[in-house]
């Protein structure tokens, strides 16, 4: 599938709002037959437009009360240090997202921890001692004013 039509985009929107929608429910929203809605949904999944479905638990209810964004500068810029740092980010469950950046920092990490002591341990005992890491700067989230939201799909 090279392009998405309006119906495909409406399916993506609907599933971002409620990933549990059945083909019957999608059909009602889209004014399609359940089999058409199911085939379109399946095609979007097979073609990689929809890569999976996840639950979004409330971090605070799970005892994860500190969220931070951590900027990391590497000590050197080699393929080996990049791979070593990627491996580190994948092993640490507190690092829930990571991006490479332009500018002063090489990476931006989104981190969720139980408390400030856990964030401190992550920075002091795991990130800073890593040979790929040159500098770390953290910003602690005071309040999240907008939750992660669906991707914009309207053309």
pLDDT digits (tens, 9 = 90+) for 48-86: 999 999 888 999 999 999 999 999 999 988 999 899 999
Model's pTM, two decimal places? 0.85
DSSP character at residue 137? E
pLDDT digits (tens, 9 = 90+) for 98-125: 999 999 999 999 999 999 999 999 999 9
CATH C-level class of 6-46: mainly alpha
Q: Give buried/exposed letters for 56-87 (b at 16+ CB in 10 A, else e).
A: eeebeeeebebbbebbbbbeeeeeebbeebee
Banded pLDDT at 150 (limits 50, 70, 90): confident
| For the chain, domain boundaries | 6-46, 60-140
Hey, do 6-46 and 60-140 end up sharing a CATH topology, with the first three levels equal? no
* CATH number belonging to domain 60-140: 3.30.70.920
| Distance in angstroms (rounded) separating the CA atoms of residues 103 and 112 | 24
């Amino acid at each position: 599938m090279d392009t998405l039509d309006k119906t495909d985009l409406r399916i993506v929107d609907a599933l971002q709002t409620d990933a549990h929608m059945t083909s019957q429910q999608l059909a009602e929203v889209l004014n399609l037959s359940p089999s058409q809605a199911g085939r379109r949904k399946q095609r979007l999944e097979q073609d990689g437009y929809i890569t999976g479905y996840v639950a979004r638990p409330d971090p605070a209810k799970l005892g994860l009360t500190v969220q931070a964004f951590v900027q990391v500068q590497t000590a050197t810029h080699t393929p080996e240090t990049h791979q070593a740092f990627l491996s580190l980010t994948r092993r640490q469950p507190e690092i829930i997202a990571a991006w490479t950046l332009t500018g002063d920092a090489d990476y931006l990490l989104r981190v969720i921890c139980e408390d400030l002591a856990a964030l401190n341990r992550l920075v002091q005992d795991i990130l800073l001692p890593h040979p790929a890491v040159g500098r770390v700067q953290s910003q602690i989230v005071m309040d999240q004013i907008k939750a992660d939201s669906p991707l914009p799909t309207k053309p």
